[in-house]
Chains A and B, each alone.
Chain A
Amino acid sequence: MKAFADYNPISVFFCIMGVASVGMFCMDPLLLGLSLIGALALFLARNGRAGMKECLWYPLLFLITAIGNPLFNHKGVTVLFVLNDNPVTLESVYYGLAMGCMLVGTLLWFRSFSQIMTSDRLLYLFGAASPKLALILSMTMRYIPLFRAQAEKTNRSQKALGLYKEDNIPDRLKGGLRVFSVLVTWALENGVTTADSMTARGYGIGKRSQFAIFRFRRSDAVLLLLSLAFTALTFTGMGLGKVGFEFFPAVTPVKATPFGVLVYISYGALSLLPAILEISEALRWKSLQSAI
């Protein structure tokens, strides 16, 4: 048993992307609600009280969207009242509420995603797609702080050597430019040593394998399969018109076909899965902790 964030990044990626993409492309209020509940549950489970505070502005966003839509969107047949010669319709209020759900839900999913996907997890994901790209990215990530530190050091040395003659902006720019140009030379020189260090350790003698600290265990495979299957099922349902919803001109009733119900259940399970994994791990840890 492990927390959702501790699953292999590939599984986590497909799980969150699956839920969020349905939430982004479909206007079915039930699916949107499920997506929002799942996103909110995961975010709060991971961030606790601090997360609650951060969530405070989401209702505001939700309201703005929900109220804003009927003010500008005048489609729909049920007129509630007329404002400045413009009809405000019930359908566009519903539509606004759904939009709010979608917006907040999607934002929350991506918020959790960026929290979980630290740079090394992202790198691992890229690596899964292309090992060469992964190495290049890793080297770049190494190089940026190195370059920045050297730039800072050089600038200070030069300042004490009187590179900057006056306290004005053109002079500072001129000095900065010279420092930058010497840093390019430095970087090339530096690159030669790095290249030596790479060949000395056998880079380029043949096929490379790729090591990652993230393992792919059976549980990761299960999560990945569930994510793919449920996402596919939901999209199939959407494609076949078994789920889906029309707001205009008038709202349609929710279709309760057997396949539609299956889609709702499976999407709900997928959406809530991350939060369930996260919470059950926290509970388990609490009980283990109390036994220490």
Chain B
Amino acid sequence: MEILAVRDLSFTYPTGSEPTLHHLSFSVEAGDYMVICGPTGSGKSTLLRMLKRELTPIGEQSGSVCYMGKPLSELDDMTSATQIGFVMQRPEQQIVTDKVWHELAFGLENMNLPQAAIRRRVSEMAAYFGIEKWFDMRVDELSGGQKQLLNLAAIMVMQPQLLILDEPTAQLDPIASADFLETVGRLNRETGVTVILVEHQLETVVPRCDKLMVMEKGGIRYYDNPRTVCEQLRDFPAMLEAMPAAVRLYNSFAPKDQCPLNVREGRRWVEEHFGNRVRAIPESPYTHSDKPALELKDVWFRYSREGRDILRGTDITVYEGEIFCILGGNGSGKSTTISNAAGLLKPYSGTIRVFGKKIQEYRNQSLYRDCLSLLPQDVQTVFLCNTVREELKDAGAAVEELPYDISYLLDQHPYDLSGGEQQMVALAKVLATKPRLLLLDEPTKGLDAYARRGITTILKRLQSEGMTIVAVTHDVEFAASLANRCALFFRGEVVSEDVPRTFFAENSYYTTAVNRMLRGHFDNAVTMEDAVELCRMNGGER
């Protein structure tokens, strides 16, 4: 049965000259798990909002959207609000009330259900989602992942038939986002709810979905089952880059068999088509300058006197001119380390030196002038002005001097930019302080593959100009393609440290998808470039 039918849908924002969506037509079967992907600005979010009447933006619209055979505009309020659920990107902002139980009940209160019915549905939902333990808690005590699960549960409690999710995991760490997507998958399998999901972390969702739509410039480029779509992506490199490792590898060579979608299929496919006469990429020894740019010696830190130690004797030395990535799970103390290194938090024991000088000896905020700068995790906190132009002027940054182009963004409000663009503007402000040591806290959070590649290129360029860069990240692919050295952080200290190829080749779980796929067949393939190179050396043709 067709749950959703879109016919010849076009949409233009009042401020836009070009239509954001043009002449889209597609339908979605009830019970389908559908994934929409596409580069930034391809109209994904606008399309999603057109599917939910309450969120439809103001603008010029033609064509129709039908839910269960009825145009959206003809649905009664109750059906429209409850049958179509919508989860947004930012976990914080969607939460309305102060208590977990109240948030769960909010939608049902709006439906004017009696107490007993609300009580039953809320309890049932809490049990299904495993949120009984935090049922009585205040929402600000929850982690980001828990907040997003709460948002999902608060929608599902209204028993929608169609669930729309707009980049729900963009603000979550990898473990929380895997958890979230697993829950969405389970809801789809166990309750038959139709899912339409916009995601940029495609590694996990593409192999699982029933339909994959690729959008480009407001139109549909492909819409089919994921395998068929992935086999055609050869001529759409911008999108291919975001796809699972197996798909990228498949499309790097002349077509052989069916396209593998996940790690397991990819491994089988490589073993079938490539020998392993050459097993490893020759590694040239890594040398670094002997002058340390950042030194942490036996640093101990806790947030409050009675709290537990977050940093437990941390020792880190980063040398001038290198890119150093700190990886580690949630709560391992990565972000705390970088805040300590930036002088924003003070350790209760141990010393921190920046370019050989103790951090306390930088008086009068001189640490933050021509010396050290930090790009924070939430880049929105960087902005103080109403346009990008004012923002840059305020920071004293000249657009021409930047190693990348953001001149086309100058007249926009920083909050209206996409995640990747916000990151670029924030970085421009950070660079304006002319740092010699650049600290980055989760620089790829919420970015798609294209923006990620962009920032990697920029950081490498800054390094070639002599900058030292320290990045804290969850993103193993990013670290593998960027770092000179990587360190694994666990319970407040560094437990292993090496050049990325060795570092990731020695890990079996905390490593890139490419490495997990090729482990055992090749010895040290970590990035896609490594994999392609090794396959080519073993007889693959492009």
Tell whether B318 is near chain A: CB-to-CB under 8 Å: no
Given A138-B97, A197-B96, A213-B101, also A157-B374 (CB < 8 A): yes
Q: Which A residues are CB-close (under 8 A) to B118? A: 209, 211
A182–B81 contact, CB under 8 A? no
A160 to chain B, nearest CB (A): 4
Tell whether A85 is near chain B: CB-to-CB under 8 Å: no
Tell whether B115 is near chain A: CB-to-CB under 8 Å: yes
Tell whether B175 is near chain A: CB-to-CB under 8 Å: no
* Proximity string of chain B (448-472) to chain A, C-beta cutoff 8 Å, 1 when within and 0 when not: 0000000000000000000000000
Q: Which A residues are CB-close (under 8 A) to B381? A: 150, 153-154, 156-158
B115–A209 contact, CB under 8 A? yes
Tell whether A48 is near chain B: CB-to-CB under 8 Å: no
A182–B383 contact, CB under 8 A? yes
Which single member of A162, A198, A199, A205 contacts B369 (CB below 8 Å)?
A: A162
**CB-contacts of A176-204 with B (<8 A):** 178-179, 181-182, 185-186, 189-190, 193-194, 196-204
Stretch at the interface among A25-33, A51-59, A140-148: A140-148
B88–A201 contact, CB under 8 A? no
* Proximity string of chain B (90-130) to chain A, C-beta cutoff 8 Å, 1 when within and 0 when not: 10111111110110011111111111001100100000000
Which range holds the interface residue count of chain A? 35 or more
B36 to chain A, nearest CB (A): 18
Q: How many residues of B contact A (CB 8 A)?
A: 70
Q: Which A residues are CB-close (under 8 A) to B251? A: none
B93–A202 contact, CB under 8 A? no
B352 to chain A, nearest CB (A): 14
Tell whether B334 is near chain A: CB-to-CB under 8 Å: no
A160–B98 contact, CB under 8 A? no
Stretch at the interface among A4-12, A86-94, A107-115, A163-171: A163-171
Residue of B nearest to A216 (CB): B115
Tell whether A208 is near chain B: CB-to-CB under 8 Å: yes
Tell whether A83 is near chain B: CB-to-CB under 8 Å: no
* Proximity string of chain B (76-91) to chain A, C-beta cutoff 8 Å, 1 when within and 0 when not: 0110011001101010
B140–A161 contact, CB under 8 A? no
A184 to chain B, nearest CB (A): 12
Given A160-B342, A201-B110, A209-B115, also A153-B96 (CB < 8 A): no
Which single member of A138, A146, A159, A179 contacts B102 (CB below 8 Å)?
A: A138
Which single member of A141, A149, A150, A162 contacts B433 (CB below 8 Å)?
A: A162
Tell whether A253 is near chain B: CB-to-CB under 8 Å: no
Given A142-B140, A209-B113, A211-B108, also A201-B155 (CB < 8 A): yes
Tell whether B305 is near chain A: CB-to-CB under 8 Å: no
Residue of B nearest to A179 (CB): B384
C-alpha spacing A41/B333, complex, angstroms:
48
A157–B382 contact, CB under 8 A? yes
**Chain A at the B interface: SS class:** helix
A159–B140 contact, CB under 8 A? no
Q: Which B residues are CB-close (under 8 A) to A182? A: 383-385
B119–A211 contact, CB under 8 A? yes
Residue of A nearest to B52 (CB): A200
Given A142-B95, A193-B88, A200-B81, also A161-B110 (CB < 8 A): no
Residue of A nearest to B49 (CB): A196
B187 to chain A, nearest CB (A): 17
Residue of A nearest to B151 (CB): A197
Which single member of A150, A198, A206 contacts B112 (CB below 8 Å)?
A: A206
Residues of chain A whose beta carbon lies under 8 Å from any beta carbon of chain B = 120, 135, 138-139, 141-142, 145-146, 149-150, 153-154, 156-167, 178-179, 181-182, 185-186, 189-190, 193-194, 196-213
Complex A-B, nearest 3 residue pairs according to Cβ-Cβ distance, in ascending order: A202-B81, A193-B93, A141-B98
Residues of chain B whose beta carbon lies under 8 Å from any beta carbon of chain A = 52, 54-55, 77-78, 81-82, 85-86, 88, 90, 92-99, 101-102, 105-115, 118-119, 122, 136, 138-140, 151, 154-155, 158, 339, 342-344, 363-365, 368-369, 372-374, 376, 378, 380-386, 395, 415, 429-430, 433, 439
Other 6 A-B pairs with CB < 8 A, given A160-B374, A211-B102: A141-B138, A142-B96, A185-B415, A189-B415, A199-B81, A209-B118
